[in-house]
Amino acid sequence: MNSTIHPPTAHSPATLYIVLDAVRCWAAARRKHRPAMAQLHLRLRRYGCEQLSPALDSLLRLSEQVTGHDLRTGRGPRLSADENLLIDLLQARWPGPVPYACSDAIACAFCYAVRSTQILLAQALDARRSGAALTIRDADPLYC
């Protein structure tokens, strides 16, 4: 048994699309005052990786506390600075020091949330790989 969990850097562009779709769904739910984690769970279920919902919800909530503002999303293929940062962190491409507007404890929790999400994302995608290929065929381009 291989106990090494690799970050999702080697995964397909579909993986990044799924993460981006989930992030935008979560942010849209928050803006509309809907239950964000429930919306996120429904969105991720389309891809067979709804088990990521709690980790991603926690990561996104902590990212708002770290940055000191609501998560900013792009539209279509254009990514916001917040989305770029999250994707870079999830792919273990450290962009350098991340300025934060929170306590050191929240910043530390955010680092753990990034790593937990990396691990769970890799596990979910490995499980998906053993079954059907991960695709964006069923993705909704309108995001939530």
Confidence bin at 99 (pLDDT 50/70/90) = confident
Q: What is the pLDDT averaged over residues 36-45? A: 95
Contact (Cβ atoms closer than 8 angstroms) between residue 68 and residue 101: yes
The Cα–Cα gap between 74 and 20 comes to 10
The Cα–Cα gap between 69 and 87 comes to 18
Provide the 3-class DSSP secondary structure of residue 56: helix
Cα torsion 67, 8, 124, 78: sign: positive
Q: Rounded to two decimals, what is the model's pTM?
A: 0.80
In 3D space, the residue among 1, 8, 4, 2 whose CA is nearest the CA of residue 117 turns out to be 8
Q: What is the pLDDT averaged over residues 91-112? A: 85
- Residue 45's H or E segment, with its range, is helix 36-45
